[in-house]
Chain A
Amino acid sequence: MQTRPLTLASLLLLSSVAFSEESPIQILLSVGAEGLNNDRATAAVAALSKAPVAELSNLFAALNQATDLSANYLRAAIDSIVERAIASKVPLPNSELRAFLVDTQNHPKARRLAYEILQKVASKETAELLPTFVNDPSSELRYDAVAQLIQSAEKQKLAGDKPAALAAFKNALNVARQDGQIAKIAWEIRDLGEEVDLPKHFGFLTHWKVIGPFHNDALAGFETAFPPETEWKPDAEYEGKTGRVKWQDLATGEEYGKVDLNPVLGELKEVTGYAHNDFNSPIEGPAEIRLGCKNGWKIWFNGKLLFGRDEYHRGARIDQYRLPVTLQKGANKLLVKVCQNADVKDWTREWEFQLRICDASGTAILAVNRPPTPKAEPKTAPAKSQKKDRKP
C-alpha cells in the first residue's frame, strides 16, 4: 500500500499555523455539542489523516487540550497516519512517542494510545516499560501492569510460597484500581488468611445520616423538593409518607459500600429517602464522586445539584456514574436522594446506593476522620407503621 499524496487542499489546510484559530487541529479542538463545528471538522480531519508522520507530535500535544469528543477526531487522524506509515514502512517518531508516554503529565488516554502505537513498532522495548506503570494515572496502563503483578503472585502461590504470595498480592492491591482486579486480589488475600477492608480501599462512604420515607407516588417525588433538599438540620423532624420522620444513623460494612435504605426506612414502594454525609476532605482540588444506584437519584455537593437520573431498576454497579467535583479542604456536604418506584417484582426490592470519593484514577480519597469500617450490615428493624404500607 502506497502512501497517498497530499492533495493541494490538504497542504493548504495543513500549512496554516499550528494552534492558530483556523489550523486543522484547532478546528478539531473546537467541535462541541450537537455537532458544533462538524462542518469544518470534516475537512480538517480528512486533511490531517493524510498528513505525514511529523504531524503526530502536534496531534498528541493537542490531545492534552482536547475534550472527550474532540479527542476522538484527533485520534482518528492519528490512527490513519500510523496505519498508513506502518503499511508503507515509514518510520514513526518512536523517541517522541516514548517521551510522550513516560511523561505522566500528558493525558492518560493519549499516553495509552502512544503505548499501543509503540507496541506495534517496538514491542520488546515497550513491554519493558510496563512494570513502571503500576501506579500510573492511566487506568489502562496501570491495569496491564497490575495484571503482571497478579500473575507473579499467582505463581508464588502455586509454588507454595505463601508468605511471598501474600506479600505480592498485598502489593498488587495497593496499586490496583479496577474493580475486577481488586475483587480477584481480595479473594486471594483472604484465601491466604488475611482480611481485606474493601470499602476503605475503594473509598466508599460508610457512615451516613438517613431520613425518610417521603412519598414518590406516581414517581412525582423525584421532582418534589422535600425539606432535606432545602435545609440541613440534623435534629429536625418532618412529615413523611407514613408519619413523622427524622435523621437516623446508618453505617454499612457491605463490601461495596451499599447503603441499604430498606432495613432502616422500611421496605416500601413509591418512596423517597435522603442520605447526608459530612465529608472532611484531606485535600483541596479536583475529585470524582462515583455512584452506583438502580433507583432514581439526585446528588447535591456543597449545596449544588450535580446530577439526577430517573431510571429505575435497570441495574447498578460500582462507578456507574462519575461526577467531577472540586473538594474543599475540610468540611464538604453531600446529599443523596434515592427514589423507589411502585414495581413489586423481586428484582425491584432494592432501595440503595453506593458512593465513593476518589481521584480520576480511582484512588480513594479518605476523609480525615473516617471511622473504622463496620464489620457487619446494620440490623435495624423498620417501624411497624412503616411496614404496613408495603404493597403486596
Chain B
Amino acid sequence: MKARIFLSCLILGLTQASHHAADWLQFRGPGGSSVSQDSAIPTILSESLIAWKKPLPGRGISSPLAIGDRLYLTASSGPDQDRLHIFCLRASDGSTIWERQFWATGRTMTHAKICVATCTPCSDGKFLYAAFSSNDVVCLDLNGTLVWMRGLTRDYPNASNSLGMASSPVVVENTLVLSVENDSESFAIGLDTAQGLNRWKIQRPKVSNWTSPVVLQRQPGEASLIALMSGSGISFVEASSGVEKAHFDGGGSTVSSVTLANGMLYVPTKGTTALKLPAEASEKAPEVLWQNGQMINSTVSPVVVRDRVYTLNNAGILKCSSAKDGEKIWQLRTTGPYSATPVAAGEFLYLINEKGLLQVVDTKTPEGAITSTLDLQDTFIGTPSLADQALYLRSDKFLYRISEK
C-alpha cells in the first residue's frame, strides 16, 4: 500500500501545479525546485539592472513570494526582535501596498546569523501563510486581512530552538504543513488552512532541524505526501492526515532540504543520495539509486535542472553531476561563502554569496563558467526568488529587484 502511493509520485516533477507558471509561492519556488521557467531573467549583470532597492522594516532571511504583480515578504524588528512584519509590495516599483505587524507570542532568541523572520512564507494563490522563528503562524488574505493566527510555542511551550527555527512551511490540499523540530518538544503539524486548527500533529525526532518539508504531489484525486527529513532519514507522511506511508532510514541533513525532480528525490546526505521512488507495491522504502560522497551540499540544497544536479559546498565548489547516476560532469570554483541555495532559469544558475556577490553561471559551457557578476556589497543569507522576468534578492536590510525593465 505504501509503495503504491509512490507510483504516482514518479510524475511529481512534471505535475507540480502552481496557479500561474510565473508565480513563486514558497521557499525555493515551484515544488521547492529553485528553478524558474522564466527565460527572461537577465544573464549579463550590471548596476543599471537594479530596478529598485527597497529598505525593509526589519531584519530577515525569508524569501519574497511573487503572486501576479505583487510581492509578499516578512521581517522582524525591535530590540527583542519580537515584532513580526508581513507586507506586500508592488513588483514593478517596490512600493508598499500594505503592511501588517504582529507581536510574537513565542521566544525570539536566535543565533546572530539568522533572525525571527527566517522562514519563507507560502501561498496557495489565495491566502498567505507566514511562519516565524517564534513559531507564530499567521494566515492573511492577499489584501492583508487577518484570517487566523496560531502561536505554536504558546500551545506547546517547549517547542522552540534557542538557535532559531528556520523551516519554511508548505501548503497542499488545504493543509498547511510545518516542521517544528527541535531538541525538546519536537513535532510536525498540519493545520487546516481555513481556520488554522490542527488536522494532525505527529512527534518528530528530538533534534534541532532547520530543513523544510517538501510536497510530493501525485496524480489528480490522490492524496499528496510530505517528505519530512531529519538526521536519521526521511519520513513520508500523508499531507491530509500525517500518517506515515514510507520511511527512508539512510540519513539526512538537518540544514539543507531535499529536492524533487525527474521522479526522484535528491537528498543531502552522504554527499548527495538519489532516491528512486518505489513503483512496486512490495517495496517499503525508496530505492537508493546512487550516492556520491563528493557532492557535498553544506548549507545549501541541491538544484536539479533537467538531467543535471548542482551542489555547492562550503569552499564554493559548484559541482555539476548527472542527475541519472551522479557521475561528475564538471566542477567550478566560485566565490563563497554561501548560505543561500542557488536558483536557476534557463541554462543559467544564480549564486549569491553571504557578502553580496551575485554570480551567474552558464551551465552550457563544457566546464561551466561564471559569465557575469554584480557586487551588491550587502549581507545575503536568504535564497533568491525568480518571477516576472526578475531576480529578487533579499539582504538583511533591503530587497533588490534585478531585471531588464
Q: Tell yes or no: B182 within 8 A of A by CB.
A: yes
Nearest neighbor of A1 in chain B, beta-carbon distance: B97
Q: Tell yes or no: B327 within 8 A of A by CB.
A: no
Q: Tell yes or no: B147 within 8 A of A by CB.
A: yes
Q: Tell yes or no: A205 within 8 A of B by CB.
A: no
B133 to chain A, nearest CB (A): 12
Query: Is A83 in contact with B98, judged by CB distance below 8 angstroms?
Result: yes
From the candidates A34, A38, A49, A71, name the one contacting B145 in the complex (CB within 8 A).
A49
Query: Is B208 in contact with A34, judged by CB distance below 8 angstroms?
Result: no
Q: What residues of chain B lie closer than 8 Å to A41, measured between beta carbons?
A: 148
Q: Tell yes or no: B372 within 8 A of A by CB.
A: no
Q: What residues of chain A lie closer than 8 Å to B148, measured between beta carbons?
A: 35, 38, 41-42
Query: Is B162 in contact with A316, judged by CB distance below 8 angstroms?
Result: yes
Q: Tell yes or no: A328 within 8 A of B by CB.
A: no
Query: Is B184 in contact with A69, judged by CB distance below 8 angstroms?
Result: no
When each residue 70-100 of chain B gets 1 if its CB lies under 8 Å from chain A and 0 otherwise, what string results? 0000000011100000000000000000111
Q: What residues of chain B lie closer than 8 Å to A39, measured between beta carbons?
A: 195
When each residue 360-387 of chain A gets 1 if its CB lies under 8 Å from chain B and 0 otherwise, what string results? 0000000000000000000000000000
Query: Is A79 in contact with B162, judged by CB distance below 8 angstroms?
Result: no
Query: Is B79 in contact with A178, judged by CB distance below 8 angstroms?
Result: yes
Q: Tell yes or no: A390 within 8 A of B by CB.
A: no
Q: Tell yes or no: B174 within 8 A of A by CB.
A: no
The DSSP consensus for interface residues of chain B is loop
When each residue 1-44 of chain A gets 1 if its CB lies under 8 Å from chain B and 0 otherwise, what string results? 00000000000000000000000000000010111001101100
Measured in the bound complex, the distance between the Cα atoms of B195 and A77 in whole Å is: 17
Q: What residues of chain A lie closer than 8 Å to B151, measured between beta carbons?
A: 68-69
Interface segment, one of A225-233, A273-281, A305-313 = A305-313
Measured in the bound complex, the distance between the Cα atoms of B84 and A109 in whole Å is: 13
When each residue 309-330 of chain A gets 1 if its CB lies under 8 Å from chain B and 0 otherwise, what string results? 1111011110011000000000
Measured in the bound complex, the distance between the Cα atoms of B145 and A41 in whole Å is: 12
A123 to chain B, nearest CB (A): 17
Measured in the bound complex, the distance between the Cα atoms of B80 and A140 in whole Å is: 9
Q: What residues of chain A lie closer than 8 Å to B111, measured between beta carbons?
A: 315
Interface residues of B in 136-157 (CB under 8 A from A): 138, 144-151, 154-155, 157
Nearest neighbor of B149 in chain A, beta-carbon distance: A72
Measured in the bound complex, the distance between the Cα atoms of B146 and A49 in whole Å is: 9
When each residue 213-251 of chain A gets 1 if its CB lies under 8 Å from chain B and 0 otherwise, what string results? 000000000000000000000000000000000000000
Q: What residues of chain B lie closer than 8 Å to A180, measured between beta carbons?
A: 79
Query: Is B198 in contact with A34, judged by CB distance below 8 angstroms?
Result: yes
Number of interface residues of B (CB under 8 A): 40
When each residue 130-142 of chain A gets 1 if its CB lies under 8 Å from chain B and 0 otherwise, what string results? 0000000001100
Measured in the bound complex, the distance between the Cα atoms of B103 and A109 in whole Å is: 9
Measured in the bound complex, the distance between the Cα atoms of B158 and A307 in whole Å is: 9
Measured in the bound complex, the distance between the Cα atoms of B111 and A352 in whole Å is: 19
Q: Tell yes or no: A46 within 8 A of B by CB.
A: yes
Query: Is A139 in contact with B183, judged by CB distance below 8 angstroms?
Result: no
Measured in the bound complex, the distance between the Cα atoms of B154 and A31 in whole Å is: 12
Which chain A residues have a beta carbon within 8 Å of chain B's beta carbons?
A: 31, 33-35, 38-39, 41-42, 45-46, 49, 68-69, 71-73, 75-77, 79-80, 83, 109, 139-140, 143, 178, 180, 294, 307, 309-312, 314-317, 320-321
Measured in the bound complex, the distance between the Cα atoms of B182 and A314 in whole Å is: 10
B265 to chain A, nearest CB (A): 29
Measured in the bound complex, the distance between the Cα atoms of B149 and A76 in whole Å is: 10
Query: Is B198 in contact with A314, judged by CB distance below 8 angstroms?
Result: no
Query: Is B162 in contact with A294, judged by CB distance below 8 angstroms?
Result: yes
Q: Tell yes or no: B251 within 8 A of A by CB.
A: no
Instruction: Kindly list the 4 A-B residue pairs having the minimum CB-CB distance in the complex, ordered from nearest.
Output: A76-B146, A314-B162, A35-B197, A315-B162
Measured in the bound complex, the distance between the Cα atoms of B154 and A41 in whole Å is: 18
The DSSP consensus for interface residues of chain A is helix
Nearest neighbor of B192 in chain A, beta-carbon distance: A35
Measured in the bound complex, the distance between the Cα atoms of B376 and A332 in whole Å is: 56
Q: What residues of chain B lie closer than 8 Å to A49, measured between beta carbons?
A: 145-146
Query: Is A35 in contact with B154, judged by CB distance below 8 angstroms?
Result: no
Query: Is A311 in contact with B102, judged by CB distance below 8 angstroms?
Result: no
Measured in the bound complex, the distance between the Cα atoms of B149 and A314 in whole Å is: 27
Q: What residues of chain A lie closer than 8 Å to B208, measured between beta carbons?
A: 314
Query: Is A310 in contact with B183, judged by CB distance below 8 angstroms?
Result: yes
Measured in the bound complex, the distance between the Cα atoms of B196 and A75 in whole Å is: 18
Query: Is A72 in contact with B105, judged by CB distance below 8 angstroms?
Result: yes
Measured in the bound complex, the distance between the Cα atoms of B163 and A39 in whole Å is: 34
Measured in the bound complex, the distance between the Cα atoms of B99 and A49 in whole Å is: 13
Query: Is A71 in contact with B100, judged by CB distance below 8 angstroms?
Result: no
Q: What residues of chain B lie closer than 8 Å to A33, measured between beta carbons?
A: 154-155
Q: Tell yes or no: B101 within 8 A of A by CB.
A: yes
Measured in the bound complex, the distance between the Cα atoms of B353 and A333 in whole Å is: 52
Q: What residues of chain A lie closer than 8 Å to B149, measured between beta carbons?
A: 31, 69, 72-73, 76
For the A-B complex with A68-B154, A310-B184 known, give 6 more contacts whose Cβ atoms are closer than 8 Å. Answer: A35-B148, A69-B154, A72-B102, A80-B144, A307-B157, A312-B183
Q: What residues of chain B lie closer than 8 Å to A68, measured between beta carbons?
A: 103, 105, 151, 154
Query: Is A76 in contact with B100, judged by CB distance below 8 angstroms?
Result: yes
Given A46-B145, A311-B184, decide whether A143 and B79 contact each other with a Cβ distance below 8 A.
yes
Query: Is A35 in contact with B195, judged by CB distance below 8 angstroms?
Result: yes
Given A42-B148, A73-B149, A320-B109, decide whether A34 and B155 contact each other with a Cβ distance below 8 A.
yes
Query: Is B163 in contact with A314, judged by CB distance below 8 angstroms?
Result: yes
Q: What residues of chain B lie closer than 8 Å to A34, measured between beta carbons?
A: 150, 155, 197-198
Interface residues of B in 165-218 (CB under 8 A from A): 182-184, 191, 194-198, 208
From the candidates B109, B155, B160, name the one contacting A317 in the complex (CB within 8 A).
B109
Measured in the bound complex, the distance between the Cα atoms of B153 and A33 in whole Å is: 10
Query: Is A80 in contact with B145, judged by CB distance below 8 angstroms?
Result: yes
Query: Is A42 in contact with B195, judged by CB distance below 8 angstroms?
Result: yes
Query: Is B146 in contact with A73, judged by CB distance below 8 angstroms?
Result: yes
Q: Tell yes or no: B59 within 8 A of A by CB.
A: no
28 contacts between A and B (CB under 8 A): A31-B149, A34-B150, A34-B155, A35-B198, A38-B195, A38-B196, A39-B195, A41-B148, A42-B147, A42-B148, A42-B195, A45-B147, A68-B103, A68-B105, A69-B149, A75-B103, A80-B100, A83-B98, A109-B103, A178-B79, A309-B158, A310-B183, A311-B158, A311-B182, A314-B162, A314-B163, A314-B183, A316-B162
Query: Is A315 in contact with B163, judged by CB distance below 8 angstroms?
Result: yes
Interface residues of B in 93-122 (CB under 8 A from A): 98-103, 105, 107, 109, 111
Q: What residues of chain B lie closer than 8 Å to A71, measured between beta carbons?
A: 103
Q: What residues of chain A lie closer than 8 Å to B161, measured between beta carbons?
A: 311, 314
Measured in the bound complex, the distance between the Cα atoms of B160 and A72 in whole Å is: 20
Nearest neighbor of B154 in chain A, beta-carbon distance: A69
Measured in the bound complex, the distance between the Cα atoms of B154 and A295 in whole Å is: 22
Measured in the bound complex, the distance between the Cα atoms of B309 and A27 in whole Å is: 52
Measured in the bound complex, the distance between the Cα atoms of B182 and A312 in whole Å is: 11
Query: Is B163 in contact with A35, judged by CB distance below 8 angstroms?
Result: no
Measured in the bound complex, the distance between the Cα atoms of B151 and A312 in whole Å is: 23
A317 to chain B, nearest CB (A): 6
Q: What residues of chain B lie closer than 8 Å to A178, measured between beta carbons?
A: 79
